[in-house]
């Protein structure tokens, strides 16, 4: 029953919001803000022309590449900095100095370095994702209960075995949360960077539709697609939290 409620209630609320949106547009008689049917027609036109799918593909490629690089680099580096306290203490001032800088503040430099190309948004997405993963991994290793480490050593585990059988399982729930947070940030930065640094993608669709003919039906449609894709990825991350080895950390 609870599982049914989790599906039916959000769908019902979504339908109510769509109805309110449609009624508000009709009652006010606005010619600027589109109705749901206007948005649907605009998106259908883009799909027929093959533009929408190519924009979605480009956006997914950029966020997947930048986010993937951050995962590959950030998590191992964070584990290393957490495992070796002296190294972590040396790197921490640099991390804490760079971490508060908005990734979008790097956009002018990214455009200068990489030009109007995929490399610019990928670089910004990488920066946006890197620090949440790096810090989570670093602090996760440091917060492993010492008794777990001592017990592993008492059983004769080597450093690599201790990392694989004790540290990483204890760290994994924290990493999953960081992955979810980092992807949310990366998705936001993707859209913002595509409005400036490239000439394709969902972010570019929104700004181009606004500037070229004030197609607000396409603007709102692009926003809805961004939100729906974000929801889909969030569901996938939540499903990962049900893996048996980490489920204990996410129980209510």
pLDDT tens digits for range 69-103 = 999 999 999 999 988 889 988 998 999 999 999 88
Longest dimension (CA), the chain: 76
Report helix, strand or coil for 128: helix
| Confidence class for position 224, pLDDT limits 50, 70, 90 | very high
Residue (of 168, 165, 139) closest to 152 by Cα position? 165
Angle at 238 between CA 236 and CA 243, to 5 degrees: 95
Q: How many Å apart are CA 186 and CA 117, to the nearest integer?
A: 17
Long-range contacts of 200-205 (CB under 8 A, 24+ apart): 200/54, 200/55, 200/58, 201/55, 201/58, 201/59, 201/62, 201/121, 202/55, 202/56, 202/59, 202/226, 203/59, 204/55, 205/46, 205/51, 205/52, 205/55
Reported as a single tens digit per residue, the pLDDT across 21-64 is 889 888 888 878 888 898 899 889 888 888 889 999 999 999 99
The CATH label, of 1.10.3720.10, 1.10.443.10, 1.10.287.3510, 2.60.40.1930, for the domain at 35-250 is 1.10.3720.10
Find the distance separating the first CA and the last CA of the chain, reported in whole Å. Answer: 17
* 251 DSSP assignment: -
Residue 35 DSSP symbol: P
148-181 pLDDT tens trace: 777 777 777 777 777 777 778 888 888 888 999 9
Query: Domain ranges in the chain?
Result: 35-250
CA–CA dist 243, 247 (Å, integer): 6
């Amino acid at each position: 029953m609870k599982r049914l409620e989790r599906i039916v209630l959000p769908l019902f609320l979504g339908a109510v919001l769509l109805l309110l949106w449609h009624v508000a547009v009709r009652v006010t008689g606005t010619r600027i803000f589109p109705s749901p049917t206007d948005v649907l027609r605009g998106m259908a036109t883009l799909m027929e022309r093959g533009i929408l799918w190519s924009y979605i593909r480009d956006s997914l490629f950029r966020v997947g590449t930048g986010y993937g690089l951050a995962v590959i680099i950030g998590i191992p580096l964070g584990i290393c900095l957490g495992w070796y306290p002296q190294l972590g203490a040396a790197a921490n001032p640099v991390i804490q100095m760079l971490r508060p800088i908005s990734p979008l503040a790097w956009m002018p430099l990214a455009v200068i370095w990489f030009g109007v190309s995929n490399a610019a948004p990928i670089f910004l997405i990488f920066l946006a994702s890197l620090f949440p993963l790096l810090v989570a991994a670093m602090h996760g290793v440091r917060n492993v209960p010492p008794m777990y480490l001592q017990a592993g050593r008492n059983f004769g585990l080597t450093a690599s075995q201790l990392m694989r059988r004790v540290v990483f399982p204890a760290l994994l729930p924290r990493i999953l949360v960081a992955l979810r947070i980092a992807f949310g940030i990366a998705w936001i930065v993707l859209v913002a960077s595509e409005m400036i640094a490239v000439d394709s993608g969902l972010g570019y669709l929104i700004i181009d539709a606004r500037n070229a003919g004030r197609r607000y039906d396409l603007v709102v449609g692009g926003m809805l697609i961004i939100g729906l894709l974000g929801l889909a990825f969030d569901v996938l991350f939540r499903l990962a939290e049900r893996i048996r080895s980490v489920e204990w950390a996410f129980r209510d």
